[in-house]
């Protein structure tokens, strides 16, 4: 059995076999406020998306949804605490592919996220873009590689450790031979602040937090990480087009619950999230940030996790990334 079927089997077993509950449980849920944990500081992509989801779920279920930011160690601090949360549907978490695909390889976790977390619903795909401070004499990816090679030890980029942008950037460095040092951060908001201020020189981050700065000329886009060019930046190529990547890499976000959360509660949350994603208000909010909604059932979310985990895990092993 390959890695993907093993992961998928584990997730489906957790969701269907361990999350059984009566319809009465869903009928009474929720009876109090729900907490949605974001494993990164406020201001980043996961936080922005989580607050949109919280608003929609709160409206649908007529109950308060509180967003709690708890950053550190690439999200693993919050994820470790979440793994021990009561599986009653009152504590949820905004997860990304790094939650399942990279954290177990980078941190000494005392749990397996695939077995500890039950998929509830995907929310969105937030596409990545490589940007530099416009003060640099760099306008293309080729310029970046030449500049980095000509100025060894002088280029740097910022990101949190072990998340998608960090992995994609390290894979880019491996493929191009560019000498660009990594400056670790706790979250995306601080990265962008320092990049705008010139403390760091470049980053890869998500469309939701970078597009406005690119369009205003505060940052210069070199390439996008997905399969296609963005309609907002039609002249900016993909990293596949530039020959520096052999496949696209975008970041998805989704809501998970602790394993053994009643299946009926998970289904109720899934419906609330998906109805919100189809609403005109949510679609407008996501579109304003250039984010694509992604509607799935819990089982489809499980299949996505199973597909993505091996892909990102291979990057960790190939690049030799370590959590300092």
In tens, the pLDDT along 116-139 reads 999 999 999 888 999 999 999 999
Average pLDDT score over the chain: 89
Share of the chain above pLDDT 90, in %: 63
Q: Among residues 100, 103, 114, which one has the least CA distance to residue 15?
A: 114
Predicted pLDDT at 308: 84
172-181 tens-digit pLDDT: 999 999 999 9
The whole-angstrom separation of Cα 284 and Cα 80 is: 34
Does the structure show a pLDDT above 90 at 17? no
Domains of the chain: 3-126+251-319 (3.40.190.150), 128-224 (3.40.190.10)
Which neighbouring-strand residues pair with 67?
36
Backbone angles phi, psi at 43, to 5 degrees: 105, -15
Per-residue pLDDT band for 247 (boundaries 50, 70, 90) equals confident
- Name the helix (H) or strand (E) containing 124: strand 117-126
pLDDT single digits (tens) 58-99: 999 999 999 999 988 778 889 999 999 999 999 999 998 888
Q: Please state the pTM of the whole predicted model.
A: 0.82
pLDDT tens-digit map of 254-292: 999 999 999 999 999 999 999 999 999 999 999 888 888
Instruction: Give the mean pLDDT of 8-35.
Output: 65
Q: What does the alpha-carbon distance between residue 80 and residue 78 come to, in Å, rounded to a whole number?
A: 5
Residue 324, pLDDT score: 60
Q: How far apart are CA 219 and CA 209, in angstroms?
A: 12
């Amino acid at each position: 059995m390959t890695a993907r079927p093993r992961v998928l089997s584990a997730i489906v077993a957790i969701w269907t076999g361990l999350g059984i509950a009566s319809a009465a449980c869903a009928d009474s849920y929720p009876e109090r406020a729900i907490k949605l944990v974001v494993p990164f500081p406020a201001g980043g992509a996961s936080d922005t998306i989580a607050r949109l989801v919280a608003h929609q779920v709160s409206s649908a279920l007529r109950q308060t949804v509180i967003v709690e930011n708890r950053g550190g160690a690439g999200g693993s601090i919050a994820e470790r605490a979440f793994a021990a949360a009561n599986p009653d549907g009152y504590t949820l978490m905004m997860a990304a592919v790094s939650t399942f695909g990279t954290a177990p390889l980078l941190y000494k976790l005392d749990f397996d996220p695939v077995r500890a977390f039950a998929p509830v619903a995907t929310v969105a795909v937030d596409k990545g873009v490589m940007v530099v401070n416009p003060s640099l004499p760099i306008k293309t990816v080729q310029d970046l590689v030449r500049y980095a090679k000509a100025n060894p030890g002088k280029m740097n980029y910022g990101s949190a450790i072990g998340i998608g942008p960090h992995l994609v950037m390290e894979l880019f460095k491996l493929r191009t031979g560019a000498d660009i040092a990594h400056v670790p951060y706790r979250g995306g908001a601080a990265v962008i602040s320092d990049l705008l201020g010139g403390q760091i020189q470049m980053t890869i981050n998500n469309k939701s937090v970078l597009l406005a700065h690119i369009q205003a000329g505060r940052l210069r886009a070199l390439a996008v990480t997905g399969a296609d060019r963005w309609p907002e930046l039609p002249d900016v190529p993909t990293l596949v087009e530039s020959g520096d990547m052999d496949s696209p890499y975008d970041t998805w976000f989704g809501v998970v619950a602790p394993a053994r959360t009643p299946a009926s509660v998970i289904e109720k949350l899934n419906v609330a999230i998906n109805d919100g994603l189809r609403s005109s208000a949510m679609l407008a909010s996501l579109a304003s940030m250039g984010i694509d909604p992604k509607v799935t059932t819990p089982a489809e979310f499980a299949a996505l996790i199973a597909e993505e985990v091996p892909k990102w895990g291979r990057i960790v092993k190939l690049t030799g990334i370590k959590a300092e």
